Amino acid sequence: MNEILKVENLSISFGSNHVLCGLNMELYENEVLGIIGPNGAGKTVLLNILSGILKPTAGKIWFMGEDITNRSIVERTRKGFGRTFQVPRSFENMTAYENSLVGAAFGGDCKEKDCLEISSDILDLIGLGRQKQDFARKLGLLDRKRLEIGIALASRPKLLLLDEVAGGLTESELTDVLEIVQNIKAAGISVIWIEHVLQTMVDGTDRVLLLAEGRDIIHGLPQEIMDSKEVEEIYLGTDE
């Protein structure tokens, strides 16, 4: 299997807060990699570094064989990075359809007519078909999370970064999200999926990585990781 993303010795500190300390990881083509870790472990920070919002203090990032460490946010998006935000950042005073259109028109490389069609089709696919003309500010939590995924997908990404899209959802809503991710994988997109809901990680990913103390503590098959003593100590331990 080919690597689509490779992260080497990635470090970032905010003052004396060393959030990532020499993280190494890779993602294979068409793989869904789950990342778990306690609150404040640096999961969102990692996504922000990958999408170019934060600059790492050290380390390198390769995307499809190219060193993109110094590439801008927009360049990365246009090369095929798509992402969602833990706290949805949809465009409040635009309709769901226009939100999706922003993704298609600026992130993707499509002719106008195709952009319009893709934006609309994507919303049908992720279950927002009836809310296309609703303002984003009127959508409920699940629909907002869907829209986040929709905007990202509309840019036709090669790599999708999901930041807690299942948090706060009900059992049946979780099934919807799992189905969407299955669909994304079936379309050949590679995914990094951050989640606290461990069952979705077991059901929805190919591999899980436990991020803590700024590095990769352990990674492997989802069920193995969930059963490991590391997860019990570091992750579940925080709940007790």
Partner 1 sequence: MEDKTLRKEKNPLKNIIILVIVAFFASLTLWGNAYFINLLTLLFLYLSLAQMWNLLAGYSGLVSLGQQIFVGLGGYCLAIMTEKYHQGLALSLVVAVAVCVAFAFVISFPIFKMRGVYFTIGTWIVAEALMIFFANWSFANYNIGYNIRMGYTFSPNIIYLMAYIIGIGSVALVFFLLRTKTGLALMSMRDNESAAEVRGVKLYGTKLRIFLLTAGYTGLTGAVLYLNMVYLTPDSAFTINWTVSMVFMVIIGGMGTIEGGIIGAVVYVIIQQYLYNFPGISMIILGAAAIAIILFLPKGIMGTLHSRYGWELFSVRRGLQNKGASVTSLKDILMK
Ligand X SMILES: Nc1ncnc2c1ncn2[C@@H]1O[C@H](COP(=O)(O)OP(=O)(O)OP(=O)(O)O)[C@@H](O)[C@H]1O
Q: CB-wise, 44 or 131, nearer to Mg ion?
A: 44
Count of C-beta atoms within a 10 Å radius of residue 24 = 12
Report the partner that residue 98 touches, choosing among Mg ion, partner 1, ligand X, none (CB closer than 5 to 8 A by kind).
partner 1
Helices assigned H by DSSP within the chain: 43-50, 73-79, 96-102, 112-125, 141-154, 171-186, 198-204, 222-227, 229-230
Q: Are 51 and 34 in contact, with CB atoms under 8 Å apart?
A: no
Is residue 14 part of the contact set for ligand X (CB under 6 A)?
A: yes
Query: Which listed range, 21-29, 71-79, 82-90, 202-210, lies at the site for Mg ion (CB under 5 A)?
Result: 82-90
Count of C-beta atoms within a 10 Å radius of residue 85 = 20
Q: Which of residues 26-65 bind ligand X (CB under 6 A)?
A: 37, 39-45
Q: Are 213 and 48 in contact, with CB atoms under 8 Å apart?
A: no
Q: H or E stretch including 154? A: helix 141-154
* In the complex, minimum distance from the CB of residue 8 to partner 1, in angstroms, rounded to a whole number: 23
Q: Which of residues 14-73 bind Mg ion (CB under 5 A)?
A: 43-44
Binding site for partner 1 (CB under 8 A): 51, 53, 73-74, 77-78, 83, 85, 89-95, 97-98, 101-103, 105-108, 110, 112, 114, 116-118, 120-122, 124-125, 129-130, 132-133, 151, 153, 155-156, 183-184, 186-189
**Closest listed residue to residue 19, CA positions, set 61, 76, 59:** 59
Residue-level length of the chain: 240
Q: CB-wise, 55 or 138, nearer to ligand X?
A: 55
* In the complex, minimum distance from the CB of residue 59 to ligand X, in angstroms, rounded to a whole number: 15
Contacts of 201 (CB under 8 A, 6+ apart): 34, 36, 193, 195, 208, 222, 226
* In the complex, minimum distance from the CB of residue 132 to partner 1, in angstroms, rounded to a whole number: 6
Report the partner that residue 14 touches, choosing among Mg ion, ligand X, partner 1, none (CB closer than 5 to 8 A by kind).
ligand X
Q: Which positions touch ligand X (CB under 6 A)?
A: 14, 17, 19, 37, 39-45, 86
